[in-house]
Amino acid sequence: MDATSFPHVIPPEMPQYGQANHIFQLMQGWVLDGLPESREQVLMMQTLGLAPRHVIVLNAPDMVLIERNLGKRIDPQTGEIYHTTFDWPPEPETQNRLVIPEGISELETARKLLEYHRNVIRILPSYPGILKAISADQPCVDIFYQALTYVQTHHRSNAPFTPRVLLCGPLGSGKSLQAALLAQKYGLVNVCCGQLLKEAVADKSKHGEVIRPFFEKHMAVPDSIIMKILTQRLDRQDSVQRGWVLHGFPRDLDQAQMLDSLGYSPNRVFFLNVPLDSVMERLTLRRTDPVTGERYHLMHKPPPTLEIQERLLQNPRDSEERVKLKMDLFYRNAAELEQFYGQAVTVNGDQDPYTVFEYIESGIINPLPKKVP
């Protein structure tokens, strides 16, 4: 198969298949094996924009899987894995030095399977429309060709039109997560304005070199430069064909008018409304471990030990003063933006992310509003 057309695949396999937790980068595609293992990891991946095009789950009866696991053997010299039934080495020397790996007893395998079953029922609903279940209780070559056939298919969008979605909301309102969810379900291009600017700087592009001094001095990038970067992304073929979800821009009326005048008008606009107290709780309690890089939240994800807690650091942008300043700036411009986008929908963003997504999704799949003459 041509690597340039290789799709994004996540196989949420059962624990005893021996998968490695890594991503195989294949030019314009990747195969992720071993993640996600929980709904929390699903949310984290979606927040980071990791949205697969195809998801394959390999199923087999527990007794079959336990039997397979019990037959595993490892060569301590080479690290090669063999099986007493399916893949036994022909050399007597190799046979004699094989050992039973740890953690494959019937009891331990059954415990891992129980944990897998508890988690997988919360993972699979996160990938509606792109999920394929394949029986793993058949020859490997048959499994491979079924998987290959599936990943070579192209899913049609569930949207009744080409969505051009704009998400507005204050810092910490969940725009990034909702954009990732929309991009995943409807195949939209996730366009984060701030991320585009960072990528331009990192790539050392012509525009990136212009942006760099503003970043270094912590100054706002001029609208004219932002529009050049943004329109380049919105003009790309995938954005035109599949549609897009934009967040992080526009932030005020002037930017909205500029976007509209250049022909990039959204056909769905959502304002995520989150109270100041909730935003303060979400952002000002975030901490980072400078040793491991692990991120914590003092309320929702506290550090496991006192030692870790004592060394946690707060990003200056999460300080109470900075957050209040940005919230005030957003709400000063929000009224004009809401008036400019007269058909915008206001959504309560202070609730479970999937509940918020359901409200947004209902606005995506409903027919376009009819213009009143």
From residue 183, alpha-carbon distances to 62, 243, 246 in Å are 35, 9, 10
Instruction: Please report the pLDDT score of residue 191 as a whole number.
Output: 94
Q: Which of these, 356, 322, 296, lies nearest to 169 by C-alpha position?
A: 356
Q: Are 8 and 54 in contact (CB under 8 A)?
A: yes
Q: Please report the DSSP string for 100-128 in residue order.
A: PPTT-SHHHHHHHHHHHHHHHHHHGGGST
| Backbone phi and psi for residue 145, each to the nearest 5 degrees, phi listed first | -70, -30
Q: Alpha-carbon distance 46 to 183, whole Å?
A: 9
Q: How far is CA 221 from the centre of its chain?
A: 27
- For residue 348, the model assigns a pLDDT of 93
Distances (CA, A) of 13 to 65, 110, 172: 12, 15, 33
Cα dihedral 172, 176, 177, 182 in deg (nearest 10)? 140
- pLDDT of 178: 92
Q: Which fold has domain 3-151?
A: Rossmann fold (3.40.50)
Exposed, middle or buried: residue 246 (CB in 10 Å: 0-12, 13-18, 19+)?
A: buried
Q: Which helix (H) or strand (E) holds 131?
A: strand 131-135
pTM: 0.58
For CATH 3.40.50.300, list the domain ranges present in the chain. 3-151, 164-365
What is the model's pLDDT at position 205? 82
For every one of its 373 residues, what pLDDT tens digit does the chain have, with 9 covering 90 and above?
333 333 445 555 444 443 333 333 333 578 888 888 888 888 887 767 677 878 898 888 888 888 888 888 899 888 888 888 888 888 988 989 999 988 888 888 888 888 888 888 888 887 776 888 888 888 888 888 788 888 876 655 555 568 899 999 998 899 999 999 888 888 889 999 989 999 988 888 888 889 999 888 888 899 999 999 999 899 888 888 888 999 999 999 999 999 988 888 898 999 999 998 999 999 999 999 999 889 999 988 899 999 999 999 999 889 999 999 988 888 889 989 999 998 889 999 999 888 999 889 888 876 545 544 4
Per DSSP, the three-state class of 236 is coil
CB of 119 closer than 8 Å to CB of 38? yes
**Per-residue tokens: 145:** 């060709």
Rounded Cα–Cα distance for residues 118 and 128 (Å): 19
- 3-state SS, residue 300: coil
Give SS3 for 169.
Answer: coil
**247 is written with which tokens?**
């967040």
| Residues contacting residue 11 through CB under 8 Å, at least 6 positions apart | 19, 31, 32, 33, 55, 56, 57, 58, 147
CB 194 within 8 Å of CB 211: no
The CATH class of 164-365 is alpha beta
Phi-psi region of 65 (alpha: psi -120 to 50; beta: other; left: phi over 0): alpha
Residues 251 and 220: beta-carbon distance below 8 Å: no
H/E stretch holding 189: strand 189-192
The whole-number pLDDT of residue 156 equals: 53
Q: What distance in Å separates the CA atoms of residue 184 and residue 305, rounded to the nearest whole number?
A: 36
**Cβ contact 364:268 at 8 Å:** yes
- CB half-sphere exposure, 80, CA atoms < 13 A: 12
Pair type for strands 189-192 and 244-247: parallel
